[in-house]
Structure 1
């Protein structure tokens, strides 16, 4: 296999789009993976497809799950309100075990593709308190990956890439713009409309808006 393949987890948001642009710039053949997991924000799936196509993915796959069947998050349970102010501790927008589930499926696809590289847009600076966005979690998952897979047993190491881990939102945006990324294609809002308009009030919207301020560029987000 001459090309260096990588699986990129793409949610349709600002961070994962930037990671995809970075992976492409590094010369990877990018296989993008999104999840229809019962999230309230359906517009992000369309955004993920747009972003993947615009950045020249080899293949875009959507895996369907039913995390809404167990609930426990404002992103999957309509009975839990999306907060519009910062809260102490882990917020109700945390989806139980989401990154573990997503990375596990990404790992499986990577094995099928013969890819040893997986990219994910987690961030320890603007991570909203999610426990599965911390560097120690990623290190633990990578260790597990190389214990639990055939390619790991055969001595071919899987690497989980987190290029945004130590970057602020403004730095992330500047990096993406330098790579020609069109952020108007992305949707970050936790409760975006079907058409992709952002509420401008949720935690994700506030972080995104401040990021464009910090980057010193116009915010292309469509707000309600």
Structure 2
């Protein structure tokens, strides 16, 4: 799950002396949200697509619009999620420790990787449960599910304060009523639940989980 295993290399890194028109044409060919800029052979930053339609000239004219974000090749793909969300990007530049541009990763790359794991790929039930922060235990949550002969595929914290924590979990479809009752008995409140055993809902299921990851 390291970034270096997902790098693509066919998207160029532009210089400030390149024309806005050429950068715009390239971006339209690829359909990405940003172009990347290098300066003195080092990665310099990114410019969002919208700014390339404000006029012609050279990219130096847009230097004040450059956003500074990138990910290191030896980072984990989980590290990329916040960057996609923070910069409203569908593409992220990859650099090495010397800030040399190596290529890029896309949101689609990450989505496809996550979709292979049971948390996303298995059909089942999605529950968002709430509990006082002082008694939060993912181990206890998993035990509640498994003690009712259901499978616990995984989960993550979706909201957290000093008082309360909300956790979204993915479980198999067995014994759901019994699981609901057990959570209630252990002082967990079910905030949202989505049950499905239809294969046609699998894509929406995966995408919803991925969106929640991005919004963390």
**Same-fold call, TM > 0.5?**
no
| Bigger CA radius of gyration | 2
TM-score (norm 2): 0.23
